[in-house]
Amino acid sequence: MGKGGNLSEGVVKKILLSYTYVAIWIFLSFTVIVYNKYILDRKLYNWPYPISLTIIHMAFCSSLAYLLVRVFKVVEPVTMTMDLYCKSVVPIGLLYAFSLWLSNSAYIYLSVSFIQMLKALMPVAVYSIGVMLKKDTFKSDTMGNMVSISIGVAIAAYGEAKFDTWGVMLQLGAVAFEATRLVMIQILLTSKGITFNPITSLYYVAPCCLVFLFIPWIFVEYPLLKDTSSFHFDWVIFGTNSFCAFALNLAVFLLVGKTSALTMNVAGVVKDWLLIAFSWSVIKDTVTPVNLVGYGLAFLGVAYYNHAKLQALKANEAQKKASQAADEEAGRLLEEREGENGAKKNESQG
């Protein structure tokens, strides 16, 4: 085959790899969510201690990240001063701790399907906080899109068969903390030229997150666990659950690094629909028609949001290419002019 055949094979290979990364991320994200629900739900494994579960995850991830960075040297640590760590990483670790604590707590009170519906509010929270912190610019059409997503989620909540106010408050709090964390990463780290991959992110953030989780754990869950003499730590359950959580972080690195963050957003929508279907068919959670209508409206809003982001990325790329082409053309003209001036100078000297 000619060059065209080789090119098409290369494109096909790239597409297949992208779909493989998406499939791995969806599978691991799906597994972690269902596994956490299984452990925390009182009707299943019946271990309703979300702070303790999150501490186990963070301790496991911190240990593995340390081994990969310091012992096996798989990735290089980021150059960081103590002042930068305290001002940038510590606030992000605090937000991450609250986000994980509240999101895991919600699984005790809400169904997997309804939690995924509430998570559709993430773009709304990220955009709103970005505007408040002047990281994003206010646009009426974007805000209109955010309102449509919010209305869709509100309809889904109205149709929820097992609505629990406390559970909803926990999940909304988790969305707010996670959205703030994402914006703060842009403000505190990305703006300073510091980028983390998931391993270095866990290396720096997970120990900090662990410390912040330990404080409420001492007062909220430790007294309860101390009185539960019948509990024995199940190394298989908690070990495999923690390993899945760590593997999910690596899958995020693969997916975003080899494709884009936008691809992960789109894949996230597919994962949400799969989780809703799984929750309804396997776990036997009640999913009402009003639930689906509301989430469908929110889904359309999120899809439009992702489409708008894609168009903006394409416009930025086109602008960069046009600017590069203009710079190259200006450089070429300057070289030609310098060449002409040199030739004229030689002629006058001759």
pLDDT for 112-156, tens place per residue?
Answer: 999 999 999 999 999 999 999 988 889 999 999 999 999 999 999
pLDDT of residue 344: 60
Q: What is the mean pLDDT of the chain?
A: 87
Give burial (CB, 10 Å; 0-12/13-18/19+) of 317: exposed
Residues counted in the chain: 350
Out of 44-53, 184-193, 301-310, the most confident range is: 44-53
Task: Please tell me the least confidently modeled range out of 6-20, 110-124, 330-344.
Answer: 330-344
| 242 Cβ neighbours under 8 A, 6+ residues apart | 56, 57, 60, 61
Question: Tell me, what's the pLDDT at 19?
Answer: 86
- Per residue in 59-108, pLDDT tens? 999 999 999 999 999 888 888 889 999 999 999 999 999 999 999 999 99
